[in-house]
Structure 1
């Protein structure tokens, strides 16, 4: 097997809860995924990344795992998962499982045992006594002043043992103590079990949090705040590389050519290069978050918005292209289960421009160098949900934020406006398969509301339409599969300061591609003098019909790819 097969692959992410419901209970399941594998195969994807289907109390929609070696009954059975793996392999596709091992559920047997101070698993989690001079369980007695990612203190008092445990996310998601070698071996054993079952790799959830910087001490508090969001002490700790290399050796990740991508909070280009270098057995690629913070006010939470400046977005992605050009590898994404819909965020989701902008966003992303990720519904141009009431939300992050922001004096109107644009629930509304009741997702009551525009934006209306968003994704994926310049070519950004055009070239030997994209809802003139000579260029992909020889102006959200 090609040890770097993932360089030419395209990954399709499935959020099982929202993909397809086969039994009518309103929650997506493995049987629903099996029933729709031909859709993913027809798209051209090589890999399915499956968000967690393990046993879970569902405090954080499955990212709080109570049993790593079983499937939650809401999704089906292990036999269903085996059938899914077989169905993918029969189609020449692979399965990547979500690996959530920074934390477990507080209902995991490991944590249940850990609550007993006399247990041999006490040290499997991060326990600390109350702050000296404070009564355990009272405000301010927490071991440090840290906040969790979901708001509130990062420490929870456990009356049974009289100490606090660390939870960087929900209080029902206690952090594992990776300093304990028994914890690490238990994780590696679980990973080997899944590989033996046929899994082809892992997407590693917040994997750069597994190594903390000890001792755990208070952090600086921002003016007007009570808690410290102390990223420096919980990300990229001193043993992270050691742990990743140990995992590789213990599981055989590189030896077996398994797919590995690490979700890494606050990762930068330099560290990503170290983690993804082919010289060392660590990871194939990482997810960067930098471009996802460009529409957020500096120093504020993600729901406090600012207009996106296109040159900032272009330069950020270009910096990753250049930084990982000689060593390392990029992951390419707009959408996932933690992000709002790209066409609503970076494009124009109005009826007039939605289709064109969804196609152009796809063109720009897929013509970068790296492994592209398509999130369910992205290939249809699905939009944000447009929620207007807190009752419509299901995400614990959003619900906690709403309560905290209102308690701090923010106006409900402003809070809901920010949430409507950026909440994770935007990416978690059900996949729209048809214009039937329930959007073809369910015959029952969906666990979260279906998009109001499902009758217009659905798979059935697009899969046989050569002008659809779906068809454009098919062409982009085929282009990657058949053109080495798309996979391996050097990336060069042109017109970096232009506020509406995104222009770049890809070069591999004698082959050269030029990508020109109008990232606005206005007609834009193209400064031909700043572009390569197009006299002998051949147009190989466009998202709008028109005169292939006329590139003096681009229509709103028009994009073109030329072979020079």
Structure 2
């Protein structure tokens, strides 16, 4: 009998390090803070933690601008703190995944400083993407090398003092590496080994499809920067990198793994990353992007299962992350009246956990936290807000620190009297982990119950599902002995025959209320 790797059906909890728990009182989360709250995650019932970047960084983009890939930023702790965290996570029976950021570094990285100090055409510059500009629209004016936009607003090129331009698909403080340079490949292979040797169980790869750019650097001419066969993402050369990374991971025991942040236009491209000698998983974001609709959910699930089927890999499911509006708020906005977001979020969790594959949770969703939409402008730190002159709110609203206890800010996130790096709403006083732990009807206890039931059931469930006829507003499927039912409409629908195991709101006899999900055992 083939042993199933731990990650294939895991529930993984994303820790946004800066906002999870602050142990040293600087208003920002840290590694010791995470250690102090591991009991919360063990009781929640997750299998693994994914840490967002904690490396040395100026935090121009929340740590995704890395200045030193082999050290911990002092505001988050030390390498000794990291080693202690790894030991504690493993002692609690969980695994640890860390973020790796290979597409770009910080402009404070030693290599980029060397590049700026070196002349055009030098070996130091060849580790990044420097190019000459082109004539502008006016006489004597110079334009960027092409028309590529930054994902954060504005052009993707910045001119340096000697006249050359460097590429940054994100903020100017995040220059893109040139992955055609063997120095870059060897450096990241060494970085992988550095953290694997310290005991990490896997890596989440940021911008996994973006490492190589088309050598012609052709203009987009207004087309989507993520277009299929485009010059920016999913270039064929990227797969050689992940084949090599897979070899490195396979050298270590314990089912070390890698999951890629891959945005693709279809299942065929996605499947390329999941070939047996490449990545173990890729994020499938369509469930996160889908509206509250039975038809939309079914289409997303079918497409996700179709994408991974040829590869033998398992699908991944996610509803929220550090890059997206929290799903409680998304579901609330769609309907337009207050309170429905929480009901839908409870139902969506049962959908997430009933599907084959692994589920990725984002910190705070177990508390039912909404997006914070009223942050003052002077508190916002996301470069998206700054580079669009406030036209786009950015991602700070989903990154507000977690409320742990007490009745006022900082709600146990930091020691009393310390202001957190983003302000926390007064309305969160009733949503702290402490308040919810003693409330049997709370979102926290709902998550604990649902995850515990999944843990008991999933070992006996097949890796596929069978759709069952359902009303238009509903979604029914069977996985072995488990029946799943979701009613996305407002009016009750009749349940399929089975014995209820867990429901997100009380049933009306044999009727499933609107915006409710149920797990049932097959008759």
- TM-score computed with the length of structure 2 as normaliser: 0.90
Aligned-pair distance for 1:129? Answer: 1.0
The counterpart of 2:244, out of the listed 243, 246, 264, is 246
Q: Which residue of 2 aligns with 1:447?
A: 421
**Consecutive unaligned residues in structure 2, runs of 5 or more:** none
Contact 2:401 2:413 in 1 (8 A): yes
Q: Which residue of 2 aligns with 1:75?
A: 76
Q: Which residue of 2 aligns with 1:436?
A: 407
Contact 1:349 1:383 in 2 (8 A): no
Which deviations, in whole Å up to 9, do the C-alpha atoms of 1:384-430 show, x marking residues without a partner?
11316533432111332344x4xxxxxxxxx6xxx4xxx42222011
Distance (whole Å) between structure 2 residues aligned to residue 7 and residue 129 of structure 1: 46
Contact 1:290 1:316 in 2 (8 A): yes
The counterpart of 2:493, out of the listed 492, 512, 525, is 525
Please say which of residues 374-383 and 476-485 is displaced more in the overlay.
476-485
Q: Which residue of 1 aligns with 2:476?
A: 503
Please say which of residues 385-394 and 121-130 is displaced more in the overlay.
385-394
CA root-mean-square deviation:
2.6
**Consecutive unaligned residues in structure 1, runs of 5 or more:** 223-227, 296-307, 406-414
Distance (whole Å) between structure 2 residues aligned to residue 244 and residue 498 of structure 1: 42
Which deviations, in whole Å up to 9, do the C-alpha atoms of 1:519-549 show, x marking residues without a partner?
35x33233x6xx5xx1xx22111223456xx
Q: Which residue of 2 aligns with 1:346?
A: 331
Q: Residue 123 in 1 paired to residue 126 in 2?
A: yes
SS in 2 for 1:460: helix
Distance (whole Å) between structure 1 residues aligned to residue 83 and residue 14 of structure 2: 18
Which deviations, in whole Å up to 9, do the C-alpha atoms of 1:59-109 show, x marking residues without a partner?
001000000011111111111111111110111111111000100001100
Which deviations, in whole Å up to 9, do the C-alpha atoms of 1:299-340 show, x marking residues without a partner?
xxxxxxxxx655223312332124324532211110110011
Q: Which residue of 2 aligns with 1:225?
A: none
Distance (whole Å) between structure 1 residues aligned to residue 370 and residue 336 of structure 2: 7
Distance (whole Å) between structure 2 residues aligned to residue 445 and residue 495 of structure 1: 53
Q: Which residue of 2 aligns with 1:109?
A: 110
Q: Residue 367 in 1 paired to residue 351 in 2?
A: no
Q: Which residue of 2 aligns with 1:37?
A: 38
Q: Residue 202 in 1 paired to residue 203 in 2?
A: yes
Aligned-pair distance for 1:354? Answer: 5.0
Q: Which residue of 1 aligns with 2:455?
A: 481
Q: Which residue of 1 aligns with 2:170?
A: 169
Distance 1:515 1:361, change over 3 A: same
Contact 1:480 1:486 in 2 (8 A): no
Distance 1:267 1:283, change over 3 A: farther
Which deviations, in whole Å up to 9, do the C-alpha atoms of 1:241-266 show, x marking residues without a partner?
11110222245378652121100123
Distance (whole Å) between structure 2 residues aligned to residue 487 and residue 164 of structure 1: 54
Q: Which residue of 1 aligns with 2:259?
A: 261
Distance (whole Å) between structure 2 residues aligned to residue 560 and residue 154 of structure 1: 47
Q: Which residue of 1 aligns with 2:315?
A: 330
Distance (whole Å) between structure 1 residues aligned to residue 231 and residue 471 of structure 2: 36
Alignment of 1:174-189 (within 5 A): 174-189=175-190
Distance 1:12 1:133, change over 3 A: closer
Distance (whole Å) between structure 2 residues aligned to residue 397 and residue 457 of structure 1: 28
Distance (whole Å) between structure 2 residues aligned to residue 428 and residue 204 of structure 1: 20
Please say which of residues 63-72 and 259-268 is displaced more in the overlay.
259-268
Distance 1:471 1:322, change over 3 A: farther
Contact 1:343 1:361 in 2 (8 A): no
Distance (whole Å) between structure 1 residues aligned to residue 499 and residue 226 of structure 2: 52
Please say which of residues 341-350 and 205-214 is displaced more in the overlay.
341-350
Aligned-pair distance for 1:446? Answer: 1.2
The counterpart of 1:376, out of the listed 358, 363, 366, is 363
SS in 2 for 1:383: coil
**Corresponding pairs, count:** 511
Q: Which residue of 1 aligns with 2:382?
A: 395
Aligned-pair distance for 1:352? Answer: 4.5
Contact 1:504 1:515 in 2 (8 A): yes
Distance (whole Å) between structure 1 residues aligned to residue 59 and residue 176 of structure 2: 17
